[in-house]
Amino acid sequence: MPAFSRFLRYFVAVGRLGSIRKAADELNVSASAIDRQILNVEADLGMPLFERLPSGLRLTAAGEIMMAAGGRWQKSMAEVRSQIEDLRGLKRGHVEIAVIDALAKGYVPQALCAIRERYPGITVNVRVLNNDAVRLAIMNGEVDFGIFFEPQSYRGITVRAFVDVVLGLLTPPGHPLGALRETRFSACAQSPLIVPADPLAVCQQIAVLEGTTGIELHKTVTSDNIQMIVSLVLQGVGIGILTSIDVVTEVERGLLSFTRISDAILRPMTLALCTASTRTPSYAAGIVLAEIENGFSRLGYPASIGNDDPHPA
């Protein structure tokens, strides 16, 4: 095992850097020791793991398989270390999380700040990805858990908590639509709009509304970045179309108003906190997961968002 562990450490570094010399410098070992380990394993397998090119080393098909195994091995060793520290009564470890762009502000950063104060020995890496990439990261075991839209139809995913999120119009203070709690999609037909673009998950709902109503939107700007859409609305460029979760922070601060689109064709989107069904979270991941799960309901469409007028236009 020690010899195999040493080989994988050397091999992964060479595969990542494409050079034995660079790997030797990074690992602080001799290049000859790394080369010898790789040559021995190649001889044992009966096929090369690298193509030797003038520009450096490139993984062969066998090397790609070994590289994937090396990644899994490193992840497993990290989990083993975390579990051993648990036995020693230490609340330490590293946690990998994936979330959609809308959660890069507000509740998740606040929860992680609280976790940091309570468990300073736990480190966290947060990956901000598009909706489908979050799902794949969970299913492929790249992260301990993630938060994304519409997980119901996917096998291999366990939903730990979920909330309903609705689609609405985002307007600056003083805009007439901002005085309404709900309105029909047609209310924005003649207004300059700032509309989400793929791969944002909300695009499908907007397409449904356009198709069923036959309304041709006046799309002044499209963007695949939520913060860009929010910023453009703040600048007065037009009305934004986003979900309630995208703008909770701005609405709470009174910077913007959110008016729910009330068309019957729309249904709330499900935002879910999920883990892989085949994977048991480490002790550290369990702590972080429980903390975020505990307040997850805050992400749902709140009764106070937008104006108190319950009557749609």
The domain tally of the chain equals 3
Mean pLDDT of the 250-264 span: 91
pTM for the full predicted model? 0.64
Tokens 């193509």 found at:
51
- pLDDT for the residue numbered 88: 58
Read off the tokens for 269: 């989107």
Q: Would 304 be classed as within a structural domain? A: no
Read off the tokens for 25: 């410098």
* Mean pLDDT, rounded, of the chain: 86
Are 9 and 35 found together in one domain? yes
Q: Would 305 be classed as within a structural domain? A: no
Decide which of 82, 109, 136 is a domain's last residue. 82
Q: Would 312 be classed as within a structural domain? A: no
- pLDDT for the residue numbered 233: 94
Full domain range(s) for residue 6: 2-82
Are 31 and 176 found together in one domain? no
Are 44 and 94 found together in one domain? no
Confidence of residue 309 (pLDDT cuts 50, 70, 90): very low
End-to-end CA distance of the chain: 70
Are 192 and 252 found together in one domain? yes
Decide which of 57, 82, 107 is a domain's last residue. 82
Are 186 and 57 found together in one domain? no
- pLDDT for the residue numbered 152: 78
